Structures are given as C-alpha cells and as structure tokens.
C-alpha cells in the first residue's frame, strides 16, 4: 500500500507536467501560423482566402482557421464583428462554423481538482517521510540499521583469512552446520546461538566475520554496537527488536555485531544516574538472544577487543555458547598473512616471507598489511618496478621506530652525546647473555626520540623471566651510564628509560614476586575501572612498613643493575668509542656492523639504497626551510 500510494502520486505529477508541455506545444503551433485579424480581412477582400472554419463564441472571440488561395494554412483570432459573415459571403469564401470545443471530463476534473490533489499528495508524502517512510525520518529511529549481505556484495572467503587456523576451524563449523544441519541434529546437537570473537585490535575478527558471510549461503546481517544507541530514549531497545524481527523473517541467518562492548558493558555501576539507555539496549538483547520466545535459526556473532568489560549475563552459554579467541599470529601465521597480502603487489625474488615473519614479532594482521603497503610505497618512491627486501626493511623501520626527521637540525655536540647514549644501550645489550640481539642503532631522530636502539627478538616470547627482566633494566641504564662515563655530562634523554625501568622493577616486586625478601605476594593496589561496574573505592591492604620494604627492594634492584651497566661499559670503552664514531659517520648501523664492532673488527660500510624520489619543487614568494622526512625503524630510546 505504501508503494502504491507513492506510485499514484508520482504518476499524477508526471501527467500534469506532460499536459502542461502539450498545451504549451499546441499554443506555440497556433501562434506560429497566426496572422492579425485586420490582415485577414484585407486578404479576404483581395480574394486570397479560399476557405475558413469559425470556432468559438463571438462574444469571447473566435478562432478562424483555413487555407489561403496559394494553399498555405492560416489562423487568426477574430473579435466581435457582425459584418464578418457578410464579407465572407460577398467574396465567395467557403466557410463553416462549429461550436466552441468543450474540455473532456478528465481535463475538467484535473483543472478543477488537480491543484488540491497535488497539495494533498505532497502533504501525505512529507508526513510518511517523517513517520519513517523514508530513510532518516523523524520517527524512523526505531528501525534497525543492520545491513544485509549476500553473495553478490561480499567476496571475502576463508581463503582471504590467514594466521588464525584455530579460529577458522571454530567458525567453519557454523558454516557447515548451516549448510547441512541434519548431520549434527541426528546426534542430538543444536545450533550454537552465539559466538563471541575476542582478540586484540587488528587480528582479523571483522574479516573473519565477512568470511563467514562469504562462505555461508544464508542472509548475513551486519551492524555495529554503536548503531543501537542515539539521542532518544528507547531507540536502542527498539532497534534490537526490529533487527531480530527482520532476522526471523530470513531465518536461518547470521547476525554480526561489531564492537559489542559499546552496548554490552557491565550493568550496575551506578555512576551515571537516572535511566541508563545502554542498559535498556543490553536487556533487550539478552531477552532476544535467550528469552521466553526462542529464536531458532538465528546465530549471533559478536566481536570485541574488550571482553573484560562485558556483562556476565551476556557471556553465559545459551547466549554466547562459544568464545573464539583470535589471537596475535605466531611466526607461521605471520608468514601466511604476508603471503596473502604479497599477492597484491609485485615482489622481487630476494623477498623472503619467513625472514620477515621472524623479524615482526607481535605484529597483528592489520600491522602486516600496513607493512606490505609501506614497502610498496617505498619502492615507488625509489622508482623501482618490484618491491624488494630493502623496501621491506625500510618499511619495518618506519613502523617500529617512526619516520625519520631529517629536517631536525642538531649540533655536533648533541649528535655525539646521542651517539654515546645509543652506543651504551647497544654494547650492554650485546655483552649480556640471553638478551635479544641488537638489530639496528641510529642517531637519526625518529618520532619523538633523538636516537634509537632496536633489539629484535629471534622468536616469539610469551612469558617474561626474572633474568631477562634484570638484563633489560641494565640495558635501559646503559644510555645514561655512557653519557656519564664518556662526556661527563648527563641529559634529560634518559627520562623515558628511567620511567620504564622503575615501572618494571616495581612490577617485579609488587606483582610477580621476583624477590626473596618480599616473597610471592601481590602488593599492587586495586585499579579496577569504576565505570565498568567495579568497586568505587580502592582497597589498601598493605601497611606502611611493608610499602617501605617494597620501596627498598625496588631501589636495590635498580642500583644493582645500574652498577652492572657501569661495569660493562667501563670494561668495553673501546667498543663504545668505535660504535660512536660509526654512528657519527653513517648515522645508522645494522646487525652486521654491530657484530664487527663487538668482534673488534673495522665495521663494514653500510649498504647503499636507491635515492628516494623528491617531489617537484613548489615555487613560493617566501623561502621555505626543511627537508623531506624519510621513514624508518623503532624501539628503545
């Protein structure tokens, strides 16, 4: 009925427009051959008019149409003239008269009622728009914004998802169930009502959901958690009801809710005051997923990177029966992800995905996609046809360490102090056992740091051990110790090192139980978030004397590792001097050059890279300073 009303109104408007055009066209045709009445009478008296046809009322004017003696057509509008008929008879003009044309019934109806009907139609149209007949109407807030996907508008499949084989196996079971439910129902199994995908940002939760939509031949409704709640109270609950009603009509189907923590946070914090709109939305979602009325054939898939803030009622079996952890990829997963993204760019023969995977620990799928894209951009700036390993190294440096700030002008004294600082980090890291190898050292300012020492793990690390953490403390102090030993001055450049060292030492004592004196006990205070339903107050269960002992243990650990850094650098002054000079000459040294220095050999010169193409100069009225910033690595300042 809604579509019928719209169509009728549209065709009425089209008809009125066409009638107006036809009327204007017919009038223009009449006026094209029209002659003045005085000329008509002269031509009658001169015998040039052969025939005439008189139409209309003489009191309101008459149309006279006919043919001239030469065969051409004419038309004229005659005013009231009682002598016209006598003149036509006198000059032998054949003429006929017919009554004034009456408008048709439809024409009369449209002329009388058309404007009113048009106004009524426009009024109805706008009222229906306000009530939700159109998108974004004033009363359409309760309509669900879920987008329905099918095979035609989603080309992502499981072949495009790599690095999370266990998660793929879990969700592929859902696809298999939707395709052949009898295989599971014969054994008494039922379809899971909900799947919660949990993982760090960028691990591929949304991509995995798109792959489910591409693999399953069922309707797929996609919506974000933030699409439920808007300015009006009750909108979120209404949209949840509308979404599940649409899903019931298309069952079996899948509903995907991205970032469900926007509406699924824990209830009962009591800090907002008044009526919490998000709680209404969450309550309605809980009822729809597993309430009095069942929703057979509807599978809800949700994604979040904050499972700790979700309400317990939402997490229980029957609502989300299964939690699928989409974790950061391991070395094999990173290699597979790189392979997927490298298919889209021309790769040189020297690029080895396994080497890149080993050198990118902790990167998510989104990070690896960005790495391949940055490498392609570097290759384009260097006028290459293929993306080679050097481009990937530059891209990795940029992502880890930030872009180079070549426009930053440093004095020779500052550069030398920075070189000693970074050499101190690197030499301590190389002299200690069990530490990650130094991959690159640079005094080129990157990001917010004046220099960086990048240690690259050889394998994925899942736990931190006491000896490793103590070594990291000594490495952090290496920069300040080198400044003090070699230039007899200390700067603010080690402030971040001290912050990290203090936090690490405090965690060793208060959280990890890594000291004999304090023992395996947690001394950290409660730091729960108040607005996530946690306790409003923090509980201090540690006495003042105990906290003094904690502080003394932290101080002991820091002092011991600082003394270790002093001892190492004092015994290896020659290596620090050589590395400092290499940094002053080349600004950046890599793993091979670090090994040469630590072995007492002369460091080999750096590998030459193709020059980066500079943009065309822009001519301005005022001189502009600054150079182009190139990209590079990240790690420990």
In this predicted structure, the answer to whether residue 31 has a pLDDT above a threshold of 50 is no
202 assigned ligand-binding residue = yes
Full-model pTM: 0.61
Q: At what angle do helices 365-381 and 331-342 cross, to 10 degrees?
A: 50
The C-alpha torsion from 173 through 175 and 179 to 181, rounded to 10°, is 40
The proportion of the chain whose per-residue pLDDT surpasses 70, expressed as a percent, equals 77
Q: Is the pLDDT of residue 347 over 60?
A: yes
pLDDT band for position 422 (50/70/90)? confident
Residue found by looking up tokens 């008044």 in the block: 274
Question: Does 619 carry a binding-site annotation?
Answer: no
Across the chain, mean pLDDT equals 75
> Does 168 belong to an annotated binding site?
no
Q: Taking the CA atoms of 392, 395, 399 and 402 in sequence, report the sign of the dihedral they define.
A: positive
Tens of pLDDT along 104-140? 666 677 677 777 877 887 787 777 665 554 444 444 5
- The answer on whether 86 is annotated among ligand-binding residues is no
Q: Is 570 annotated as a binding residue?
A: no
Annotation-wise, does 200 bind a ligand?
yes
Contact 240, 288 (CB under 8 A): yes
The CA–CA distances, whole Å, from 303 to 201, 210, 234, 319, 533 equal: 10, 12, 24, 14, 21
Q: What is the DSSP string of 366-425?
A: HHHHHHHHHHHHHHHHTT-SSB-HHHHHHHHHHHHHEEB-TT----HHHHHHHHHHHHHH
Quote the pLDDT of residue 634: 35
Residue with the larger pLDDT of the pair 35 and 292: 35
Is 539 labeled as ligand-binding?
no
Catalytically annotated residue among 43, 335, 393, 422 = 422
CA distances from 461 to 189, 330, 390, 456, 458 (A): 39, 10, 26, 11, 9
205 is in an annotated binding site: yes
Question: At 291, is the pLDDT very low, low, confident or very high (cuts 50, 70, 90)?
Answer: low
Q: Is residue 615 predicted with pLDDT exceeding 50?
A: no
Domains and CATH numbers, the chain: 2-105 (3.30.720.210), 147-325 (3.40.50.300), 331-401 (1.10.8.60), 404-598 (1.20.58.760)
Q: Is 201 annotated as a binding residue?
A: yes
Kindly report, residue by residue over 546-580, the tens digit of the pLDDT: 888 888 888 998 888 888 888 888 888 888 888 88
422 in catalytic set: yes
């Amino acid at each position: 009925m809604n579509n019928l009303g719209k169509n009728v109104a549209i065709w009425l408007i089209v008809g009125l427009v066409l009638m107006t055009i036809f009327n204007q066209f017919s009038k223009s045709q009449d006026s094209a051959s029209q002659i003045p009445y005085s000329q008509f009478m002269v031509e009658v008296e001169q015998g040039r008019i052969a025939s005439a046809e008189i139409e209309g009322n003489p009191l309101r004017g008459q149309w006279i149409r006919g043919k001239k003696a030469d065969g051409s057509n004419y038309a004229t509008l005659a005013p009231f003239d009682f002598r016209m008929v006598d003149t036509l008879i006198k000059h032998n003009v054949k003429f006929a008269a017919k009554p004034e044309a009456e408008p048709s019934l439809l024409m009369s109806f449209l002329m009388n009622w058309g404007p009113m009907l048009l106004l009524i139609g426009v009024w109805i149209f706008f009222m229906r728009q306000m009530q939700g007949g159109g998108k974004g109407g004033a009363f359409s807030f309760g309509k669900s914004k879920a987008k329905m996907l099918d095979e035609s508008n989603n080309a992502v499949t499981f072949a495009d998802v790599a690095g999370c084989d266990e998660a793929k196996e879990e969700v592929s079971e859902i696809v298999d169930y939707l395709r052949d439910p009898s295989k599971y129902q014969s054994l008494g199994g039922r379809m899971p009502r909900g799947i919660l995908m949990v993982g760090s940002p960028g691990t591929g939760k949304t991509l995995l959901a798109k792959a489910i939509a591409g693999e399953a031949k069922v309707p797929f409704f996609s919506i974000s958690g933030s699409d439920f709640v808007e300015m009006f109270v009750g909108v979120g609950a209404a949209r949840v009801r509308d979404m599940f009603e649409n899903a019931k009509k298309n069952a079996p189907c899948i509903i995907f809710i991205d970032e469900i923590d926007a509406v699924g946070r824990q209830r009962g914090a009591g800090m907002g005051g008044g009526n919490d709109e998000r709680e209404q939305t969450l309550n309605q979602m809980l009822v729809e997923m597993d309430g009095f009325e069942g929703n057979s054939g509807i599978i809800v898939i949700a994604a979040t990177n904050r499972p700790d803030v979700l309400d317990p009622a939402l997490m229980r079996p029957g609502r989300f029966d299964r939690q699928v952890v989409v974790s950061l990829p391991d070395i094999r997963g990173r290699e597979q992800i790189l392979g997927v993204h490298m298919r889209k760019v021309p790769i040189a023969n020297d690029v080895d995905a396994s080497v890149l995977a080993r050198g990118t620990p902790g990167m998510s799928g989104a990070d690896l996609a960005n790495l391949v894209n940055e490498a392609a951009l570097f290759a384009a700036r260097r006028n290459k046809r293929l993306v080679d390993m050097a481009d990937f190294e530059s891209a990795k440096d940029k992502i880890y360490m930030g872009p180079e700030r070549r426009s930053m002008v440093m004095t020779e004294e500052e550069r030398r102090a920075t070189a000693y600082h970074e050499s101190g980090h690197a030499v301590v890291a190389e002299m200690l056992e069990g530490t990650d190898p130094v991959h690159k050292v640079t005094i080129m300012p990157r990001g917010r740091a004046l220099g960086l020492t990048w240690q690259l793990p050889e394998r994925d690390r899942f736990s931190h051990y006491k000896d490793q953490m103590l070594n990291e403390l000594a490495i952090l102090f290496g920069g300040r110790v080198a400044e003090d030993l070699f230039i007899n001055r200390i700067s603010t450049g080690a402030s971040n090192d001290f912050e990290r060292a203090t936090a690490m030492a405090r965690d060793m004592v208060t959280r990890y139980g890594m000291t004999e004196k304090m023992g395996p006990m947690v001394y950290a205070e409660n730091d729960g978030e108040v607005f996530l339903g946690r306790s409003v107050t923090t509980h201090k269960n540690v006495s003042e004397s105990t906290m003094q002992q904690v502080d003394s243990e932290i101080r002991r650990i820091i002092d011991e590792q600082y003394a270790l850094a002093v001892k190492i650098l004092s015994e290896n002054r020659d290596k620090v001097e050589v590395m400092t000079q290499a940094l002053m000459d080349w600004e950046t040294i890599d793993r091979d050059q670090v090994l040469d220095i630590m072995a007492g050999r002369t460091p080999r010169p750096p590998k030459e890279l193709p020059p980066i193409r500079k943009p065309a100069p822009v001519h301005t009225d005022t001189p502009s300073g600054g150079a182009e910033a190139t990209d590079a690595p990240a790690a420990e300042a």
